[in-house]
Structure 1
Amino acid sequence: MDISIWHHVDRFTLIEVAYLWCELPPKEIQEGVPKPVMAIVNDMLLALKRGELWFYDRETGKPKWLVASRKPSPFPSISCYMTLIYPLLARKELRRWALTRDKRPGFLFPEDQPSQQSKNEQCSGNPLTVLNIAKPKRVRKTRIRIAVEAAYIALKTHNQDREPTANEVFSYLEDFDGTGIIVDAKSDALVWQDTKGQLHDASRKSIQNMLSKIRNKA
């Protein structure tokens, strides 16, 4: 897996950290979470509960204890399924926590990774090797799908298993997005930020299509 696209990301969701820690590409939650990934999630949840790890407060821009948070939220409980995409964790804080565990995962410590020149030199003996280097797949799309899926799950739970409509999901993300992925809203599209910090529009139609795929997987 090419993790270089994650080297510049400053804030991560729990599920993103867990996948990357296990050297796996982050996936939509509905695809199922492997046991090693879930083990990292549980470690981070325990660290958050103990105050060993801080999360990023979107309102104040400052680190905050999870156990001290009593603000009403669409994500009311640390044991809630939604915890996988909330809260956001800062790179600096994750690096500090990783070092307390004597770990240096590559996505947090890019300085430990071989340079591109070094990689090219390693591949120079076999021209085909360069072509076989794994390319990231759907990484940009994963984040908007995570936001849509989070809204879908929250609304379905709130509605006692009634399937939410695309318009309901759109409105929810417009007002209550807890992932930090949605940064603005227009009348016909949501503006979201990918892992490179670039902004994109997600139209109502594209959100409806994502929602259809999520329903089919459920």
Structure 2
Amino acid sequence: MPKPQRTLEEIEQTKTEILEQTVLLIAEVGYNNFTMRKLAARLGITATTIYNYYKNKDDLFLNILIRGFRELYARLEEADRSQATPAEKLRAMISAYTDFGLNDANFYNLMYAWHVPKFNDYVGTSLEPVARRQLEGALKIPEIFSITIKAYAEASNKSITDDETVFLMIHYWSHIHGFIAGCNNMTLYYLHKDPIAFKEQHIDSITEKFREDVLRLKDQGEKK
């Protein structure tokens, strides 16, 4: 008798398991040493079975990034909705971003830390549409921070240009990412036995310095 057709839920569960095991395997062997055969052995299936769900290694990798950025954005949205004022929203979002980076380190490292292919590497290939979806998801992260930064400035009666917004985003993301990366790659553990214990203090410091930078902006209506 023919096998019963799998439900959409079962298919999605299999695809999710493949993605999760891929992330773990890449963390163990590195992106360049990752192969579909190694993944198949880990899953206890044939490589051919994996190809029923993903075209190749790059398709699999891009779908990991799509999932990672979607999850991170959802957490940032939740943090944004959970607070009333722009200042509270920003702190909650920085906290949510930091928690994602520390608690989902393998996903975060693939998204932001490790040297892996980027969108431009897929331009002109059959995977460009998938890569574009990944890029669009990635760009939603700075977009939601940008909206909050501008709202913060407006609530402080300050005028902020697009360039000033981008500068603040890059400047403070560097601080946030540096802390996450230092914890994930164990560098900060050479300085302290538990650097994550400084997480809340680190976030408080960032939000206070951000407030000071916003207050240095020109008042609304003030001539440039």
> As a proportion of its length, which structure holds more strand?
1
- Which structure has the larger Rg over C-alpha atoms? 2
> As a proportion of its length, which structure holds more helix?
2
Q: Relative contact order (C-alpha < 8 Å, sep 6+): which is higher?
A: 1
**TM-score scaled by length of structure 2:** 0.26
